[in-house]
């Protein structure tokens, strides 16, 4: 007669308490048990004792945390028993331990202890390396996003940032507040590149960005659209005030002597200003109006400011 191999189901002897304890003591993770009412720590495995010490009748926060005079603000005990008094599914969460500064993923559950009281059982696995990688990836993504919205040469917001800035301003302003847009094109910039070289042209663009930024308020948004063209978004700014600012930028540039490779020279710009109320501030209409004004400035001899209103303006932006 043949016999089948012995399986786990055929074994009559169940694991003994010392076997279960040996398993808990060998885990590469913290396992502890604390009274849900008194917070007394009833058990902590070898991994935990090596890092936080033996309980010796202390509360769980006294063993595991620093600077605690009572239960932790992040204690999950209130979540471990449902309204009917029965434990819900395991709660999984992450936190940074205040004693060793490392990150842990915790799995918490309530259960009935051998003497009938309800206890909290937590298994905490060190995930510091994973969190470090996540933080590095997050920082890298933030830097990538920053670079994607920044002009490398002038360090101004770029064309993509311009459109996003305009959209954000539309969301923050009330419908009756004015919004102005200024388009700026450097006159005969190709001649600077052709005669003095592209390095000189790059120098001019950086100086122009610095000159204009010095004239602006913190909420004003100056962007480089590309080439020799800049754009300025002016929240809560009427057409007269935007035109006055554009004239200050124009004068700051034309009165500044550029110098490159020991050679002085002048640079001027043509500026087009458009403004309307936020309720009517469609970006395409604003761009077309500012563009028309800018090309009118060019057609009239360049080196000047022209403006165009899309609707009646309130006198905002106190100087």
Whether 10 has a pLDDT exceeding 60, the answer reads: no
Is the pLDDT higher at 17 or at 182? 182
| Count helices and strands in the chain by DSSP H and E runs | 9, 12
| Cα–Cα dist 234/241, whole Å | 10
Fold exhibited by the domain 152-309: Alpha-Beta Plaits (3.30.70)
| Cα–Cα dist 223/201, whole Å | 17
Q: What is the pTM of this model?
A: 0.60
Is position 9 annotated as part of the catalytic site? no
Euclidean distance between the first and final Cα of the chain, in Å?
105
Q: What is the pLDDT of residue 311?
A: 55
Q: Can you say whether the dihedral through the CA atoms of 44, 46, 49, 52 is positive or negative?
A: negative
How large is the average pLDDT for residues 56-72?
92
Task: Kindly name the residue from 210, 228, 229, 315 that is annotated as catalytic.
Answer: 228
Is the pLDDT higher at 2 or at 306? 306
Whether 318 has a pLDDT exceeding 80, the answer reads: no
| pLDDT tens per residue, range 35-63 | 999 999 999 999 999 999 999 999 999 99
Name the segment(s) of the chain with CATH classification 3.30.70.270: 152-309
Task: Give, in order, the Cα–Cα distances in Å from 180 to each of 33, 223, 233, 248.
Answer: 64, 14, 6, 15
Whether 198 has a pLDDT exceeding 70, the answer reads: yes
pLDDT band for position 259 (cuts 50, 70, 90):
very high
Name the segment(s) of the chain with CATH classification 3.30.450.20: 16-130
Task: Give, in order, the Cα–Cα distances in Å from 159 to each of 75, 149, 164, 248, 294.
Answer: 48, 8, 9, 23, 18
| Cα–Cα dist 254/88, whole Å | 73
Q: What is the pLDDT of residue 159?
A: 92
Cβ atoms < 10 Å from Cβ of 160: 13
Fold exhibited by the domain 16-130: Beta-Lactamase (3.30.450)
pLDDT band for position 13 (cuts 50, 70, 90):
low
Mean pLDDT over all residues of the chain? Answer: 89
Reading the block at residue 32, the tokens are 């502890």
- Are the C-beta atoms of 177 and 278 separated by less than 8 Å? yes
- Are the C-beta atoms of 299 and 265 separated by less than 8 Å? no
How large is the average pLDDT for residues 152-177?
89
Q: What is the pLDDT of residue 313?
A: 44
How large is the average pLDDT for residues 264-281?
91
């Amino acid at each position: 007669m043949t016999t089948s191999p012995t399986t786990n189901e055929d074994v009559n002897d169940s694991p003994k308490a010392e076997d279960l304890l040996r398993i808990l003591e060998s885990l590469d993770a913290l396992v502890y048990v604390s009274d849900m009412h008194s917070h007394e720590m009833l058990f902590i495995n070898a991994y935990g004792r090596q890092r936080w010490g033996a309980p010796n009748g202390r509360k769980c926060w006294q063993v595991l945390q620093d600077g605690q005079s009572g239960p932790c603000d992040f204690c999950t005990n209130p979540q471990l028993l449902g309204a009917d008094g029965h434990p819900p599914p395991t709660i999984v969460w992450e936190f940074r331990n205040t004693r060793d500064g490392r990150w842990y993923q915790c799995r918490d559950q309530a259960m009935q202890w051998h003497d009938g009281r309800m206890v909290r059982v937590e298994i905490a696995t060190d995930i510091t390396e994973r969190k470090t990688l996540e933080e590095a990836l997050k920082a890298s993504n933030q830097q990538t996003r920053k670079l994607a919205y920044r002009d490398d040469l002038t360090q101004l917001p770029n064309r993509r940032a311009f459109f996003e800035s305009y959209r954000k301003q539309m969301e923050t302003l009330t419908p009756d507040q004015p919004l102005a847009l200024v388009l700026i094109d450097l006159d005969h910039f190709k001649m600077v590149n052709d005669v003095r070289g592209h390095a000189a042209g790059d120098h001019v663009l950086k100086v122009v960005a610095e000159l204009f930024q010095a004239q602006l308020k913190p909420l004003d948004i100056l962007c480089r659209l590309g080439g020799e063209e800049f754009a300025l978004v002016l929240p809560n700014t009427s057409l007269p005030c935007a035109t006055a600012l554009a004239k200050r930028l124009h004068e700051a540039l034309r009165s500044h002597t550029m110098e490159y490779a020991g050679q002085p020279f002048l640079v001027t710009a043509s500026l087009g200003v458009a403004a309307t109320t936020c309720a009517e501030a469609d970006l395409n209409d604003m761009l077309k109006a500012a563009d028309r004004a800018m090309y009118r400035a060019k057609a009239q001899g360049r080196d000047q400011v022209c403006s165009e209103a899309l609707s009646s303006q309130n006198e905002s932006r106190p100087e």
